[in-house]
Chains A and B, each alone.
Chain A
Amino acid sequence: SQELEQSPQSLIVQEGKNLTINCTSSKTLYGLYWYKQKYGEGLIFLMMLQKGGEEKSHEKITAKLDEKKQQSSLHITASQPSHAGIYLCGADNQAGTALIFGKGTTLSVSS
């Protein structure tokens, strides 16, 4: 079965610093989704990537998909306290019926 591994598991950055979170799949990626979750709450959709080489941005968050490496990265520029939370990557399962998820990366931003 497909697995998604996220790295790092957690990180603490100073406000204003840049950071990158990675998501690596054990199998071919057909669709990659990034979500943000505040502890104990629901997931907020950030971006979806479908094609190799695709890159999308929303405010200060940029996500890229490297199909050959079966990997996606999420980059935050000039981090702010509002960026703190848990970032989860998800991918379409083989049947295309639901998503499988990584364990998440917990981001803390110190001011």
Chain B
Amino acid sequence: ETGVTQTPRHLVMGMTNKKSLKCEQHLGHNAMYWYKQSAKKPLELMFVYSLEERVENNSVPSRFSPECPNSSHLFLHLHTLQPEDSALYLCASSPRVAKETQYFGPGTRLLVL
């Protein structure tokens, strides 16, 4: 148990669906992250939030839309995804955005049909 939870753990969606991934951290951290992990590839950073403000958007397609309502919660809204978006989506948090250890949630396994 790392103090970071993600729901759902598994998600199957069609290309026309809209769904959301949720992440919650119970560590009192101020920074939260979304990463994508695909087979045979390194983890790819998607978004970075510091105190609810987005500080980095790593050239992610607009069909992925993040939301950070407060420093404990992070969402990733999904719409009109492609099959190649199937992956493990990992949320992480750290005390600050500045060379700090990140703690990861268990991930959401997403399958786009």
Contact = CB atoms under 8 A, between A and B. Distances in A.
A97 B56 contact: yes
A4 B109 contact: no
A101 B104 contact: no
A98 B107 contact: no
B3 to A, nearest CB: 11
Interface in A28-51: 30-31, 33, 35, 40-45, 48
B30 to A, nearest CB: 13
Interface residues of B, number: 26
B17 interface: no
Given A45-B103, A92-B99, A98 B33 contact: yes
Given A40-B107, A41-B106, A103-B41, A97 B2 contact: no
Interface of B: 2, 4, 6, 33, 40-43, 45, 48, 55-56, 88, 90, 92, 97-99, 101-107, 109
